[in-house]
């Protein structure tokens, strides 16, 4: 990373129950990555459900809009790293095998805290 580049941490707690909140975080992540920032998204609480296979396949933020899965894939292609909270997996009885391939892995509270403390910009959805 160039010294002029920054870092962005995006914490996603919204999930499929609030689809209107599920596209913007990925869009913002894609834009930040295109601007040469290091971008990490962390999915917590109900946000973790977006990383489960099949959930984002039929989810639209707006009627007639783009699939949330397409926003996820765009962000991944832009270089965004995506992680899920270990406690959120337990909350929803999800295993690592249930996660989509775009997910980098499972992280704990200390890792999530470090990412937020080190980031130049923190966004929460």
Q: What is the pLDDT of residue 4?
A: 59
| CATH number for the domain formed by residue range(s) 7-124 | 3.40.1260.10
pLDDT in tens, 77-107: 999 999 999 999 999 999 999 999 999 999 9
Residue 77: CB partners within 8 Å, gap ≥ 6? none
State the chain's mean pLDDT as an integer: 96
pLDDT at position 44 over 60:
yes
Contact 90, 48 (CB under 8 A): no
Of 113, 108, 51, the closest CA to residue 76 belongs to 51
The full set of domain ranges for the chain reads 7-124
User: What digits encode the pLDDT tens for the residues 49-82?
Assistant: 999 999 999 999 999 999 999 999 999 999 999 9
Output the pLDDT for position 1.
Answer: 44
């Amino acid at each position: 990373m160039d010294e002029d580049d920054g870092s962005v941490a995006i914490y996603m707690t919204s999930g499929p129950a609030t689809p209107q909140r599920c596209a913007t975080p990925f869009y913002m992540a894609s834009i930040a990555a295109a601007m040469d920032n290091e971008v990490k998204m962390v999915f917590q609480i109900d946000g973790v459900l977006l990383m489960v296979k099949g959930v984002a396949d039929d989810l639209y933020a707006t009627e007639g809009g783009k699939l949330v899965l397409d926003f996820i894939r765009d962000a991944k292609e832009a270089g965004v790293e995506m992680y899920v909270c270990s406690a959120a997996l337990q909350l929803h009885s999800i295993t690592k095998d249930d996660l989509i391939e775009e997910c980098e892995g499972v992280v704990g509270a200390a890792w999530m805290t470090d990412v937020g403390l080190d980031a130049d910009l923190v966004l929460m959805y």
